[in-house]
Structure 1
């Protein structure tokens, strides 16, 4: 008999999402721990941890798998355009509704979510469960992570440059290259030596990733709670935000599904396009927030949309992928029975 929660664990719906809620509660109760820099700065520890995360990611990034995935070029174009163009364009028109209001920060967080890269691990997992094109999923998720280092700051620069004089796009890209891209490149270079070790210990590395994300979320919310940045946001506002995030997911999902049919993608490529193009990365969201937003007080609010979207996309995508797998299995059984 499978242990309780084992099925949910396949999709990352176990302790991690509960831990995200817990660290926010802890940040509310003891914000000073995440704000103080003595005896040790938790924020600095998180920054170093980020580089280690992407070094491990590079170690597991097989050049051979990327070469195999290169062949589906139309699929790659659709996924990247949906990730970095469709998403932001869907959110952008609503800026005028929130400009100058207290909820403008929540809109900015939603736009930030829209400008982020796709996830890596969960996208590939969902594609695998649903029976999609796995090499193409690995390629798209990996390339999306690297493209996001440059595209996400460009999108955010449309609004952050107007609101703060300290937003220097080239300086920010330089920081992201040093903190994210260079560790990935170093990991890829060392893949031939330590790639097997990284693959054999991927569960431990995933645990390390999650701990660093929790640390970033904790310190970000500590800053926001310490400065009372959440006063004035009601429960109903947060519930509306959750409904909006779910609606955004299904809107993008539907548009990609329609586009895949229009372009004549086969089932495997359609599955890959849907799951890679509709997902957003909490890892990149937390990492980039520390670089993109110089005012640490607002980072907690900025991260709210991506945290809610992250939870809801896992729930929705896991249900959909299981349904796709069942339908494909039933179809195969029906064909074999003839």
Structure 2
């Protein structure tokens, strides 16, 4: 089961890496860069519109019952993670866009699909995972830009401007709200078309990555980053993931959560969303900076899939016999 799940993600990871290579070798320039940028903007708007239409209001209301668990997930996602990010970005050997990228990674909401899938594999509380992941992504539309404005200036970044706030509202919030308001009429149609959602999800991410890395390459990305920089980012992402996995395990013990809810806290609290992070970075930062800022997120995304696959398998193997038989 785990192998089938990872197989779904592996082609996309390869496409993501292929897009970075393509942008490095053949970056969009001049008028073509403008066309790619506009296409990426359209993809972002469509992405958030469809996610708004897909989000069930009933799921939000029913999830409020397990509010202690959801607050714990949100606290790890939007309080503990940013504190770790501030610590990493303040290290003397982490500077400039790399520091900004590490901090931005920690300000993002949790994933949805992989958090739910790993919770199911581990025999956890799937309904609670759906609610926690949905809450995280819904709040992330507002909380992540606010945290960027509050914290990234401290880390040496320029923060976001009034124009950046307007872009967030127009490209992220308005489409999301519009899609959710239209859910009674188009929600069932959108939910039935999983293939379409997958294409929009991945297509918009690939467009933004190509546009962002292309702009960064034109500005001299690879002349500014060394192999040592890439190794450093990878090691810091491993350390960050290890810290958060240990934290979620410890918090679940302190809260005396039942096994099924502890699994939700670990998987929903330890992840960061590539699907949300890429379009948000495209809106929040200048094109020439986006490529470098996204590098830590792309590495962390792959690491979290591998680590959580191993953890989910161990949870499944140690599940009580009545759960293991489900």
Q: What is the TM-score normalised by the length of structure 2?
A: 0.91
The alignment status of 1:46 with 2:40, answered yes or no, reads yes
Cα 1:104–1:320 change in 2 (3 A) is same
Return the alpha-carbon distance in structure 1 between the equivalents of residues 116 and 178 of structure 2.
23
Offset at residue 200 of structure 1 (A): 1.7
Q: State whether residues 149 and 177 of structure 1, in contact with CA within 8 Å, keep that contact through their aligned partners in structure 2.
A: no
Decide which of 12, 17, 24 is 1:16's aligned counterpart: 12
> Shift of residue 278 of structure 1?
0.6
Residue 144 (structure 1) aligned with residue 147 (structure 2): no
Quote the Cα distance in structure 2 between the aligned partners of 1:282 and 1:16. 12
Q: CA deviation at 1:213?
A: 0.2
Q: Summarize the Cα distance change of 1:199–1:316 in structure 2 as closer, same or farther, 3 Å threshold.
A: same
Aligned to 1:231: 223
Partners of 1:64 and 1:75 lie apart in 2 by: 18
Q: What residue in structure 2 maps to residue 254 of structure 1?
A: 246
Residue matched to 2:21: 25
Moved more, 121-130 or 277-286: 121-130
Q: How many residues align?
A: 323
Q: d(CA) in 2 for partners of 1:77 and 1:325?
A: 25
Deviation, 1:195, is 2.1
Please state whether the residue corresponding to 1:210 is helix, strand or coil: helix
Which digits, 9 at most, give the CA deviation of each residue in 1:302-333, with x for residues without a partner? 000000001111111122112212221xx316
Distance 2:140 2:112 in 1: 12
State the partner residue of 2:289: 298
Report the equivalent of 1:67: 61
Contact kept? 1:24, 1:218, Cα under 8 Å = yes
| CA apart distance, 1:202 | 1.2
Please, which runs of 5 or more residues in structure 1 have no aligned partner? none
Cα shift at 1:297: 1.3
**1:178 positional shift:** 2.2
Post-superposition shift, 1:161?
Answer: 7.9
Distance 1:333 1:216, change over 3 A: same
Give the drift of 1:40.
Answer: 6.0
Question: Which of 187, 192, 201 is the matching residue for 1:209?
Answer: 201
- In structure 2, list runs of 5 or more residues that go unmatched: none
**Which of 156, 160, 170 matches 1:167?**
160
C-alpha distance in structure 2 between counterparts of 1:307 and 1:192, whole Å: 35
Shift of 1:65: 1.7
Alignment of 1:1-338 (within 5 A): 6-10=4-8, 12=9, 14-31=10-27, 33=28, 35-38=29-32, 41-98=35-92, 103-157=95-149, 158-160=151-153, 167-168=160-161, 170-294=162-286, 296-328=287-319, 331-332=320-321
- Given the superposition, is the C-alpha separation of residues 70 and 190 from structure 1 closer, same or farther in structure 2, using an over 3 Å criterion? same
TM-score, reference length from structure 1:
0.88
Change in Cα spacing, 1:136 to 1:39, as seen in structure 2 (3 Å) is closer
Q: Deviations over 1:100-128 (max 9, x none)?
A: x7743111100000011111221111112
